[in-house]
Amino acid sequence: MKLLKKLLISAAVSSITLIATPSYAGNTTMGVVVKIGGIPWFNAMEEGIKEAGKKLGVDAFMVGPTSADPALQVRAIEDLIARKVDVIGVVPNDAKVLEPVLKRARTAGIKVITHESTDSINNDFNFELVSSKDLGIAHGKLFEESTGCKGNYAVFVGGLTVPAHNAWADAAIQYLAEKCPSMRQVSERFGVAESVDDSRNTTLDLLRAHSDLAGILAFGSQGPIGAARAVEERRMSGKVAVVGLFSAGQGRKLVHDGAITGGYVWSPLEAGKAFVELGNLLVKGEKVSNGADLPVLGKVVLKGNNIFANKPLELSKKTVDGLADLGL
C-alpha cells in the first residue's frame, strides 16, 4: 500500500512536466519517454525506472509529456539527444513519427530501446513482457466467455497509430471472428483509450446507439476505466462486458462492482526496471541472444530486434487487490 499511496499522491499533486529531473547521479545516463505523464500506469513505470537506476548506479529518469501527442515525444527525444544521454527509452504514441528522431539519436551514438512497439525500426531493441498476439487472444477469450458470443461489440485503442494497442486489438478481433462468427464490431475502432472522459463519452454514445452492444474491448489503460464508469451510470454493470488492460489500483473498485469484467496486463513497474537493465547491458556492450535469461525479463524469445518475455498478469476480482497493493 505504501508504494500505491506514493504513486497516487504523485499523480494528484503534479501533471508531470515535459522533462523530469534525474533522481540519481550515476555514470550512465538514461531518459525514458513515455506516452503521457500523470496517470497511474506511467507513475508505476517511473518507480521501476528509479528503483533499477539506484540499484545499478544509472542516472535514469522518466520524461512524461503533458498529452499523448507524438510531437511532444519528438521534442523530448530531441532534448535528450542534446543532453547527450547514453540511452533513450521510449513508449511510442506513433512509431512512424518517431523514426526520424530515433535515427538521429542512434547516429549520435545513443542506444535506443522501445517498448510496446514491435514495428519500430530505428532502435537497438524493443521489449515486450508478453507477445502482442498472446495478449490479444487472452482478451478475446475472456470476452468470448463473458458474452457467450451474443450481441456485438466495440473496440477502443489509445490511438489509431499506437502500434501495440492496435496489434492487441487485431489479435482479439481475429480470435472473435473465428470463435464468435455471429458477433460483429459496431464501428471501426475508437482512439480514445488514453482518456477516461473520451472513453466514457464514447461508451455512452454507443450504449444509446446500439441496444445489442454486448461489450467493449479496451486497449489503453484509461479505456476500461472510462467505459466502466459509463456502464455504471447506465446501471448495466454485469450486462455489458468491459474487457481490457488497466491499472489495478485505478480500477479495483470498478472490478469489484462488476463494471469492469477483467483483463490481462503486465507490470509497468517491471517494464520500468527492464528499460534500465537493458540499457545498462547495451552500454556495457553485452549481447542479447534468443533464449537468454535476462534481468527482470527472465528467459526471452528474440525475433529480429524484438525481445519477448512471457509475464502476463490476470486482472480479476481474485487478483486485483493484490496487484493494487503492489502499486500496479
User: Rounded to whole angstroms, how far apart are CA atoms 165 and 162?
Assistant: 6
Co-location of 143 and 126 in the same domain: no
Instruction: Report the C-alpha dihedral over residues 188, 192, 198, 199, rounded to 10 degrees.
Output: 80
Close Cβ partners of 145 (under 8 Å, ≥ 6 residues apart): none
Are 47 and 95 found together in one domain?
Answer: yes
Q: Would you say residue 16 has pLDDT above 90?
A: no
pLDDT at 295: 96
Tell me, yes or no, whether 247 lies in a domain.
yes
Write out pLDDT tens, residues 229-269: 999 999 999 999 999 999 999 999 999 999 999 999 888 99
Q: Which tens digits make up the pLDDT trace of 35-52?
A: 999 888 899 899 999 999
At 49, the amino acid letter reads I
Query: What are the pLDDT digits (tens) for 180-220?
Result: 999 999 999 999 999 999 999 999 999 999 999 999 999 99
What is the extent of the structural domain holding 57?
A: 2-130+267-311
Q: 321 in a domain, yes or no?
A: no
Residue 19: pLDDT band (50, 70, 90) is very low
DSSP state, 185?
A: B
DSSP state of 190: B
- For residue range 80-129, list pLDDT tens digits in order: 999 999 999 999 999 999 999 999 999 999 999 999 999 999 999 999 99
The distance in angstroms from the start CA to the end CA of the chain is: 10
Strand partners, 59: 29
Which stretches does DSSP call E strand in 177-229? 213-219
HEC string for 231-278: HHHCCCECCEEEEEECCHHHHHHHHHCCCCCEEEECCHHHHHHHHHHH
Band the pLDDT of 311: cuts 50, 70, 90. Answer: confident
Beta bridge partners of 157: 219
Its sign, for the CA torsion 201, 202, 206, 207, is negative
Q: Distance (Å, rounded) from C-alpha 30 to C-alpha 2?
A: 26
On whether residue 322 sits in a domain, the answer given is no
Residues 259 and 137 in one domain: yes
What pLDDT digit, counting tens, does each position of 65-87 carry?
999 899 999 999 999 999 999 99
Residues contacting residue 134 through CB under 8 Å, at least 6 positions apart:
171, 310, 312
In a domain, residue 250? The reply is: yes
Q: What is the pLDDT of residues 267-288, one digit of tens each?
A: 899 999 999 999 999 999 999 9
Q: Is 318 among the domain residues? A: no
90 and 20 housed in the same domain: yes
Chain segment 130-171, per-residue pLDDT in tens: 988 989 999 999 999 999 999 999 999 999 989 889 999 999
Would 327 be classed as within a structural domain? Answer: no
Residues 138 and 248 in one domain: yes
Residues 123 and 24 in one domain: yes
Residue 214 domain flag:
yes
Grid cell 473498485 is found at 253
Output 10 or 108, whichever has higher pLDDT. 108
**How many residues in the chain?**
328
Burial label, 283 (beta-carbon count in 10 A; 0-12, 13-18, 19+): middle
Instruction: Work out how many domains the chain is built from and give that number.
Output: 2
Within this chain, do residues 260 and 137 fall inside the same structural domain, yes or no?
Answer: yes
Pair 153, 124 in one domain: no
Q: Are residues 275 and 260 in the same domain?
A: no
Residues 95 and 19 in one domain: yes
Query: Hey, what's the cell of 131?
Result: 507477445
Same domain, 91 and 112: yes
Res 68: pLDDT? 87
Q: Are the beta carbons of 215 and 189 closer than 8 angstroms?
A: no
> Which three cell numbers, joined as nine digits, stand for 6?
506514493
According to DSSP, the residues that pair with 31 across neighbouring strands are 61, 88
Do 204 and 296 have their domain in common?
A: no
CA distance 140 to 243: 9
We report the CATH number of the domain holding residue 213 as 3.40.50.2300
Q: Give 50: exposed, middle or buried? Use CB within 10 Å, 0-12, 13-18, 19+.
A: buried
Longest dimension (CA), the chain: 59
In this prediction, residue 325 carries a pLDDT of: 84
| Domain-located, residue 325 | no
Distance CA 34, CA 70 (A): 10
Tell me what pLDDT residue 79 has: 98
> Is a pLDDT exceeding 90 seen at residue 13?
no
84 vs 102: CA distance, rounded Å:
13
